[in-house]
Amino acid sequence: MKNFSVLLFLTCLLPVPELSAQGAGNDTITYRNIGEVIVTASRVAMPLNMNPGAVSLVSAPVLSTMPRTVAVDEALRLVPGVRIDNQADGSRVHLSIRGQGILSEHGLRGIKVLLDGIPLNDPSGFASDLYDIDWAAVNRVEVLRGPSASLYGGGSNAGILNIVTSSGGDRPFGGSVLTTGGSNGFYKIHTDAGGTDGNVRYNLNFANFGGDGYRDHTAFRGTIFSDKVTFSAGEKVKITQVLIFSHYYNQNAEGLNLSQLDNPRQSNPDAIPCNEYQDTKRMTGGLIAGYRLSDNQSISLSAYVKSTSYTEPGSSAVAYNRYLNPGGTIEYDLNSRGESVRNHFSAGLDYQFQDIDGYKLPNIKDPSRTEKRGEISYYVKEGDSLLANQDIKQSSFGLFAIDRMEIGPKVNTIFSIRYDNLSNRLTDRMDSPDLLSGSASFEKVSARIGLSYDAGRSVKIYANAGQGFLPPSTEELINNPVSFGGFNQGLKPATSLGEEAGIRGYILNSMFYDITVFNLDTKNDFYRYRVPSRPLETFYGNAGSSKRMGAEFFVNWNITKGLDFQLAYTWSDFKYASPDSIKGNQLPNSPVHQLYADAAYRFGKHLTAGVSLEMQSKWYIYTDASHGSISQDGFALFHARIAYDLMAGKIPVSISLNAKNIGNKQYIAFTEPDPDGNSYQPSALREIFAAVRISF
């Protein structure tokens, strides 16, 4: 394995060609001309060949090969630099980019997530989940890797996920129905309808899904309804309305220790007696409007509001939280053109506010009790009192400016600068003389500069340097080691400086390639720890500094007519640089080698078959010096799929069969740096899923 990985890395450094037009059926990203592929994740729309940074595009044809369409790990499997752990085989995942966000207990840290222009992050930059996304309705995903705080603030320390759903077809009415079923009780029903009527384009989606999970106490259920309506008034005005209702419930089996792995399907002994789960209900509404002031000037506005109800019985306490999160953006764009220079300037303001009304109750272990979710008596013995009762108000605003300059036909530069200010204020409502009310504020100016050069048809060179800003998130602040309420006052923002250089292009119109090398230095990096008085809870602190180096490689090769090959490979060397007690230790959850390879062949017009290889090398589990050498073995998995397209009269029908982990390999999907040793989350063995999609 080690020799193979080294050989592969050296091979990736050789110049290789760019991808062909269509590829094999629905299995490839289409890069017919990268000068025509427009990227918008960097706030300024620009062709891919001009983008001076590492960007991956995942399009609808690739998304259509997802076996279940319920989680982001299936969507981004061919994106280098990204690691996603699906710890319970449902929609709850851990996602990191270049090692940023690896220690979050749940949710996404340092990654800006945009869904149809609406941010899923809260004012602190924390995206609690991706439950609002129906992956069967997604049209494309843009993944911008590397520090981008100058574009979106503290939420984009690691990169950006820009997710765009389908907008409806050109006909007045059309749609589809998708049904999927398979291993471990999984099912999904998805339906969509949309079209274009005059100046209005619309799309409606509904999905209901669930499963029993591979392990005990890992069942999940989800429902999502969404609509997107776009109104165009001539060439000057465009308004898009987005509405999403989502409900996601998942049981939480917690991790196992080494002695319990002989029965990998069992849950942690605390999980069932404490009835651990997460239940999230959310409504999101937004308006995005664009107005063309003149031929070279425009202004865009967005406004949104999110309302969330969240319940989580943990091993020590039960948390009840209600969130109200409004926000908006205003942006001005100016384009100017000279004889040999084109300039694109943007400036604007982002603002978010969030109110969190929450309290915590004791969780009394009772293996014999029955399900009574929502009843306080279910968790609390008579006479027990509240552990915490508090209100948190957060606000953030960011001022930004971006300037992109095209110098002649070959050189493109971009410079961005941003000021961020984040304010948190907590009001303790407990009936106690020792109230824990307090505040925590953070501010930062960050910048990014990039350059791309068109060296010819087969070579586009790019480089950039950017600053990252990662303030303590809501989740990190409210987990207070001193008390069940109040803020963790010892936390500081993490800051970083990252540089990257890369090359992308194509040769012979048959292969697309993209190679990036990067360096990232971070100060006040976060770590996780526990305290003896509350041994089952997770708290956060600043560990010191870290240094991340790596290389990312992607290739999409149309080998011959009907046969396509794709490969994403990541080499990572992530280590702590201070303090001396952990200096030189590998960062947890950071395998040195990751690889995903996929081959697909289309037999005639109707049948497509594909096979995939997924590999990870070993990774380390703990941060502290005493456990720094403890590691988890990697794995190599094989997957396969087959799809058949036919016409039932005039109705298109697609039938597919997917097999995951066809070797039936037992492996660990995710590890947590838990001091009690309950670090291991076993993954499912072989799974098979069948799906039928009928379009109309």
pLDDT at 34: 63
Task: Say if residue 594's pLDDT is above 70.
Answer: yes
Q: Is-contact 327 352, C-beta < 8 A?
A: yes
pLDDT at 9: 34
pLDDT at 397: 94
Written as one string, the DSSP assignment of 469-489 is EEPPPHHHHH--SS-SSS--T
**Average pLDDT of the chain, as a whole number:** 88
pLDDT at 1: 41
pLDDT at 673: 82
Rounded-to-integer distance, Cα 92 and Cα 423, Å? 28
Residue predicted with more confidence, 367 or 627: 627
pLDDT at 149: 82
Task: Say if residue 588's pLDDT is above 70.
Answer: yes
Rounded-to-integer distance, Cα 681 and Cα 427, Å? 37
Q: At 375, is the pLDDT very low, low, confident or very high (cuts 50, 70, 90)?
A: very low
Element spanning 12, H or E? helix 2-12
Q: What is the pLDDT of residues 649-674, one digit of tens each?
A: 999 999 999 999 999 999 999 998 87
Q: What is the pLDDT of residues 527-574, one digit of tens each?
A: 888 787 877 778 888 888 999 999 999 999 999 999 999 999 999 999
Residue predicted with more confidence, 489 or 661: 661
Q: At 33, is the pLDDT very low, low, confident or very high (cuts 50, 70, 90)?
A: low
pLDDT at 622: 86
User: Which sign does the torsion angle of CA 133, 135, 141, 147 carry?
Assistant: positive
Q: Which tokens hold the place of 437?
A: 């009310």
Q: Which tokens hold the place of 49?
A: 């060949």
Q: What is the 3-state secondary structure (H, E, C) of 103-162?
A: CCCCCECCEEEEECCEECCCCCCCECCCCCCCHHHEEEEEEEECCCHHHHHHHHCCEEEE
Q: At 447, is the pLDDT very low, low, confident or very high (cuts 50, 70, 90)?
A: very high
pLDDT at 379: 52
Percent of the chain with pLDDT over 90: 68
Q: Are strands 159-165 and 511-531 parallel, antiparallel or unpaired?
A: unpaired
Rounded-to-integer distance, Cα 106 and Cα 473, Å? 12
**Average pLDDT in the 432-436 region?**
76
Q: Is-contact 637 617, C-beta < 8 A?
A: no
Q: At 110, is the pLDDT very low, low, confident or very high (cuts 50, 70, 90)?
A: confident
Task: Say if residue 260's pLDDT is above 50.
Answer: yes
Residue 435 three-state SS: coil
Residue predicted with more confidence, 484 or 652: 652
Q: Is-contact 571 593, C-beta < 8 A?
A: yes
Rounded-to-integer distance, Cα 493 and Cα 516, Å? 27
Among 57, 48, 164, 153, smallest CA distance to 111 is for 153
**Average pLDDT in the 166-194 region?**
96
pTM of the model: 0.91
**Domains of the chain, CATH where assigned:** 2-695 (2.40.170.20)
Rounded-to-integer distance, Cα 374 and Cα 530, Å? 29
- Cα–Cα distances in angstroms (integers) from residue 408 to residues 44, 148, 343, 460, in the given order: 19, 26, 11, 15
Q: Are strands 159-165 and 111-115 parallel, antiparallel or unpaired?
A: parallel
Residue 377 three-state SS: helix
User: Which sign does the torsion angle of CA 206, 84, 550, 403 carry?
Assistant: positive
Q: Is-contact 447 467, C-beta < 8 A?
A: yes
pLDDT at 384: 55
Q: At 370, is the pLDDT very low, low, confident or very high (cuts 50, 70, 90)?
A: very low
Partners of 172 in the beta sheet? none
Partners of 330 in the beta sheet? 301, 349
pLDDT at 367: 57
Rounded-to-integer distance, Cα 530 and Cα 107, Å? 19
Q: Is-contact 133 161, C-beta < 8 A?
A: no
Q: What is the pLDDT of residues 613-649, one digit of tens each?
A: 999 999 999 887 777 789 999 999 999 999 999 999 9
Query: In the chain, what is the greatest distance between 2 CA atoms, to the nearest angstrom?
Result: 80
pLDDT at 377: 44
Task: Say if residue 515's pLDDT is above 60.
Answer: yes
Q: At 156, is the pLDDT very low, low, confident or very high (cuts 50, 70, 90)?
A: confident
How far, rounded to the nearest angstrom, does the alpha carbon of residue 202 sit from its chain's CA centroid? 26
Count how many Cα atoms sit within 13 Å of the Cα of residue 194 in the half-sphere of its side chain: 21
